[in-house]
Chain A
Amino acid sequence: QQQVKQSPQSLIVQKGGISIINCAYENTAFDYFPWYQQFPGKGPALLIAIRPDVSEKKEGRFTISFNKSAKQFSLHIMDSQPGDSATYFCAAIRESGNQFYFGTGTSLTVIP
């Protein structure tokens, strides 16, 4: 059973537009939710993360929105740029209990 469901699988956005990637989880024991960015030929790199005690976290053009009651969280990329083209992974972690699950990834293409 997949613990973290991520959508869409791929996304194409015009330059300057907003990219939105969604994730949903089942286990309410998860207590840390990071997003990773992966460029071709590179390993994933931590982009931004949130804990469930806040509903939103913003870092530059990247924002995580967190809906605890719906068990959903999403990544918003404002003013998307061609350099943002990459694969994005969400993850859900339970700090105790050794539980760490990634989503299946979203391939983002930003068209100039």
Chain B
Amino acid sequence: ETGVTQTPRHLVMGMTNKKSLKCEQHLGHNAMYWYKQSAKKPLELMFVYNFKEQTENNSVPSRFSPECPNSSHLFLHLHTLQPEDSALYLCASSQESRPRGAEAFFGQGTRLTVV
């Protein structure tokens, strides 16, 4: 157990649905991240929050909307997704956002399938 908990573990949604992924960290960290992991592709950094403020958005489509109400919780709101958005979505946290989350602790991920 890394101290980063993601729910749900698996999610199947239609292209017209709206759903949210949740991440919670119990490590007292002040930076949180969303990553996308697709088969045979590099891990893609999506969003970075440092002290609840979004510090990075890596050209992510607007159908993905992050929310960070406090330094312990991070959400990823999903709407009108495409089948190519199916992937493992990983949340991570670290004490500082440098060196770019390298010493981050990852959650187990949410396996998302868009049908």
B and A form one assembly: yes
Which of A43, A44, A45 has most chain B Cβ within 10 Å?
Answer: A43
* Interface residue from B91, B100, B107 paired with A98 (Cβ < 8 Å): B100
- A95: interface (CB < 8 Å): yes
Inter-chain CA distance A62–B98, complex, in Å, is 24
Is B43 an interface position by the 8 A CB rule?
Answer: yes
Bound: A20/B106 CA distance, A: 24
Q: How many residues of B contact A (CB 8 A)?
A: 26
- Asked whether A41 lies within 8 Å of B100 as measured between CB atoms, the reply is no
Bound complex: CA of A103 vs CA of B105, how far in Å? Answer: 18
* Chain A interface bracket (under 10, 10 to 19, 20 to 34, 35 or more): 20 to 34
Is B42 at the interface (CB under 8 A from chain A)? yes
A39 to chain B, nearest CB (A): 10
- A49 within 8 Å of B by Cβ? yes
- CB–CB A44/B102 < 8 A: no
Per-position contact with B for A79-112: 1 when CB-CB < 8 Å, else 0? 0000000000101011100111111110000000
Measured in the bound complex, the distance between the Cα atoms of B100 and A90 in whole Å is 14
Is B66 interfacial (CB-CB < 8 Å)? no
Name the CB-closest residue of A to B44.
A102
Q: A89-B43, A98-B56 are in contact. List 6 more A-B contacts (CB 8 A).
A: A91-B102, A100-B45, A100-B102, A102-B42, A104-B40, A104-B42
B residues neighboring A (CB under 8 Å)? 2, 4, 40-45, 48, 55-56, 90-92, 98-109
Binding site for B on A (CB under 8 A): 2, 4, 9, 31-32, 34, 41-46, 49, 89, 91, 93-95, 98-105
Shortest beta-carbon contacts, A-B, top 8? A43-B106, A102-B43, A100-B100, A102-B42, A34-B102, A32-B99, A95-B99, A93-B100
Can you pick out 23 interface pairs between chain A and chain B where the beta carbons lie within 8 Å of each other? A4-B42, A32-B99, A32-B102, A34-B102, A43-B91, A43-B105, A43-B108, A44-B90, A44-B106, A46-B102, A46-B104, A49-B103, A93-B99, A93-B102, A94-B100, A95-B100, A98-B56, A100-B45, A100-B101, A100-B102, A103-B42, A104-B42, A105-B40
